Amino acid sequence: MRGQDHSGVTAIVRTLLGAALAGSLVLVAGAIYAQGAPEIVPRLTGASPPMSEVPAPPLARPITDDKRVMRNYPEQPPVIPHSIDNYQLTLKTNRCLDCHRRQFTEGSGAPMISVTHFMDRDGQVLADVTPRRYFCTECHVQQTDAAPLVPNDFQDMIRVREQKP
C-alpha cells in the first residue's frame, strides 16, 4: 500500500467534503434570513389575499376649480387644477403648452411654465421647452378627490418650527 498514488481518491473526498460544507452554509444562511425576512405587506387597496384578482377601485374624480394649491415642500411640482382628459402628449403634440408656453399665457390666463423647463442638462437656457421637460405628466399630476391610501401626518416645515419651544 505504501508508495501507491491515492491523489484521485483524496481529490474526490475533498470535493465531497467541500460540497457538504457549502450546502450546510447555505442552509444556515437561509435560516438566518428566514428569521429576519419581511412579512407579506398587506395590499393598499384592501385585505384580499396576494395574487388574487381584485376589481380595480373607481377612478378618483378630478378637481376642476382651477385653484392653485399650496405646495408641501420646496421644488414640489404643482398639481394640475383642471381636467386633462383627452389631452394629447406625444412627441409632436403637447396640449399643455397651448396655454402654459410663455407666449400664450397672456391670452389663456394660465401660469407660465417654470424657467427650469427651458434649461438643458448643462444649465444652458433654450428658446423653447427642453426635451427632458416636455412630457408634463411625468412630474405633474391632476388634482383629484382621492382619499390617501395610507395615513399621513406630514407637517409643513414652518409648522414644525413653530411648534418647537
- Separation of alpha carbons 68 and 64, rounded Å: 11
Q: Does domain 60-165 have CATH number 1.10.1130.10?
A: yes
80 phi, psi to nearest 5 deg: -90, 115
Q: Please report where in the chains the cell 491515492 appears, as a residue.
A: 6
**pLDDT tens digits, 70-127:** 888 888 899 998 888 888 889 889 999 999 998 899 999 999 999 899 999 999 999 9
CB 94 within 8 A of CB 128: no
- Point out which residues pair with 62 in neighbouring strands: 144
Q: Residue 53: its pLDDT value, please? A: 82
pLDDT, mean over the chain = 79
Q: Please report, as a single letter, which amino acid is at residue 42.
A: P
**pLDDT tens digits, 124-143:** 999 989 988 999 999 999 88
Q: Is the pLDDT of residue 164 over 80?
A: no
Question: Which band of pLDDT confidence, cut at 50, 70 and 90, is reported for residue 147?
Answer: confident
Start-to-end Cα distance in the chain: 89
Q: What is the mean pLDDT of residues 7-13?
A: 65
Q: What are the boundaries of each domain within the chain? A: 60-165
